[in-house]
Amino acid sequence: MKRAATLSALVCLLAVTAAAPASPDAARRPEGRPDRHHGSLLDTVPKKGVLRVCTTGDYAPFTKLDPADGTYSGVDIKMARDLAKSLEAKPRFTATTWANLTKDVAAGRCDIGVGGVSITLPRARQVYFSEPTREDGKTPIVRCADKEKFGEGALADIDKPGTTVVVNPGGTNEQFARANIKQATIKLHPENTTIFQEIVEGRADVMMTDASETLYQSKIHPELCALHPDEPFTFSEKAYATPRGDDEFKEYVDQFVHLATHDGTYARYEDEWMK
């Protein structure tokens, strides 16, 4: 009888233990989500004192690399410096390409990707995107002397035999051109920093890129004119790329962007380049 009572009590104890949550935190976490608190970049970046930032350096006004001294400048470079400072860290900029930017973030080669990065669904399968910094969209830029040739800048006015559309490979500009240009010639130019000179010097006629970039390029190249930058062909948003799974870090970056885009900080940085 004593043995039976002991076994009965043990069975009851095991049943109660199995039914109880492992810890109060485990009971509050959604099913299937790991406890990432101690592994979040929100904690590790301040401890290390370094925020690793991937950027292409070839997309002014958002990111620009000075080859002479290796320094970066641009709207999103300033934002990255502010983000690092808010985390009691210093930014460490790492060069990447448009084809590899989100891959580098996903692989852990950097903590965040910045520099005029457009949100796309294929990219969103690799990384989280922060709250958007601005709206944008594809629009043409041409030589001002050729504005009448392209009428109102509709795709039908551009996609004609004899027109050369220049694009930089590996990003959304090439994707848009290949999806919409069927009769004009598409010319790949690998250097995003010199691509607009192809239009200035007559080796290409049009580039379709983000309206923000056309405004900046028409400012530094008076020979070039942006066509309907206020009414682009497409809708897109720019944001910062963070690693998938690190919800705490993403939420922090969201709050950082939200404050900067509502207190005038981001607009002030843009004005320095576009006005």
For the chain, the straight-line distance linking the first and the last C-alpha, in angstroms and rounded, comes to 91
170 pLDDT tier (thresholds 50, 70, 90): confident
Domain, as residue range, for 74: 41-135+235-272
Residue 79 lies inside a defined structural domain of this protein: yes
114-126: pLDDT as tens digits: 999 999 999 999 9
How far apart CA 247 and CA 36 sit, in angstroms, is 8
198 lies in the same domain as 256: no
The pLDDT, as a whole number, for residue 202 is 97
Q: What angle do CA 177, 198, 273 make, to 5 degrees?
A: 85
Concatenated DSSP letters of 59-119 = ETTTEEEETTTTEEESHHHHHHHHHHHHTT-EEEEEE--TTTHHHHHHTTS-SEEEEEEEP
**116 close to 76: Cβ distance less than 8 angstroms:** yes
Which two three-digit tokens encode residue 69?
Answer: 């001294």
- How many domains does the structure of the chain reveal? 2
**205 close to 126: Cβ distance less than 8 angstroms:** no
122 lies in the same domain as 142: no
69 lies in the same domain as 145: no
| Element (DSSP H or E) covering residue 137 | none
The pLDDT, as a whole number, for residue 192 is 84
38-52: pLDDT as tens digits: 589 999 999 999 999
Residue 23 lies inside a defined structural domain of this protein: no
117 lies in the same domain as 241: yes
Q: Which residues of 39-65 are buried (b: 16+ CB within 10 A; e: fewer)?
A: ebbbebbeeeebbbbbbbbbbbbbbbb
194 lies in the same domain as 124: no
Q: Which residues contact 81 (CB under 8 A, 6 or more apart)?
A: 91
153 lies in the same domain as 119: no
The pLDDT, as a whole number, for residue 38 is 59
Q: How many residues does the chain have?
A: 275
Residue 120 lies inside a defined structural domain of this protein: yes
pTM for the model stands at: 0.78
**103 close to 126: Cβ distance less than 8 angstroms:** yes
Give the rounded percent of residues in the chain with a pLDDT score beyond 70. Answer: 86
Return the CATH number at 102: 3.40.190.10
Q: Helix, strand, or coil here: 199? A: helix
The pLDDT, as a whole number, for residue 134 is 96
151 lies in the same domain as 209: yes
Phi-psi region of 257 (alpha: psi -120 to 50; beta: other; left: phi over 0): alpha
76 lies in the same domain as 127: yes
106 lies in the same domain as 91: yes
**226 close to 138: Cβ distance less than 8 angstroms:** no
The pLDDT, as a whole number, for residue 19 is 45
